[in-house]
Amino acid sequence: MPQEPTPGAKPSPDVVDPLLKEYNSSGNRGHFSAIYDGDYAHLVQDERMMDGKLVAFEPILSTVVPVNLQEGTCWDLVKNLLAEVQQARKIPIVNALPPLGPWDARICSISGHDLPARQVLRQLLDQIAARSGGSPGARFLWTLVHDPNDNAYSFSTQTVPGPVEPASAPEKPQPKPQTPATGSKLFNLGPTPAVKKN
């Protein structure tokens, strides 16, 4: 599950790592770590509870997939990727994405074979975000959440807008040059008082 960053900001280990350390020492289920990848931080489960103790666990999207379908609609490629992960890991993944908008008819492509599913998913979501007509630099972040009761995973995404350009200050109009008489009227200085000579 990638970190949800501030638009335009890169995830910082100085921020993410202390949060993970706090969670991992809290006694809650599982153990999590971060995989830093450019402007993404993937928060992944690397240990899970088995028979009352933590054991090593390969993150689901670290699964290497053959990438059988290289080009097609973005929707078909995402569904195919999740199906390949399910087959490799023998776990159900519920896809919570409706086939609407940028997911439906647009064509996406994948570069490479035998890649970690995370890399394939990032390729696809970056393409979908670029073609979705949202704000410049917008992207999709995703979650893959485990339900221990069913031992199943639920996949969903959300859009994060691109970096916000700072608003430029409006130019101030330059004052017109003023004659001394105009200046006196402008500041209501009145007539210059007479100086009495002794």
- Helix intervals (H) in 60-168: 74-89, 117-131
Does position 17 have pLDDT exceeding 90, yes or no? yes
Domain boundaries, the chain: 1-57, 61-163
CATH number of 61-163: 3.55.50.30
pTM of the model: 0.71
Nearest to 81, CA basis, from 89, 9, 176: 89
**pLDDT for 61-116, tens place per residue?**
999 999 888 999 888 898 899 999 999 999 999 987 665 555 567 889 999 889 99
Nearest-angstrom CA–CA distance, 64 and 171: 55
**pLDDT for 24-62, tens place per residue?**
999 888 899 999 987 788 999 999 888 888 899 999 999
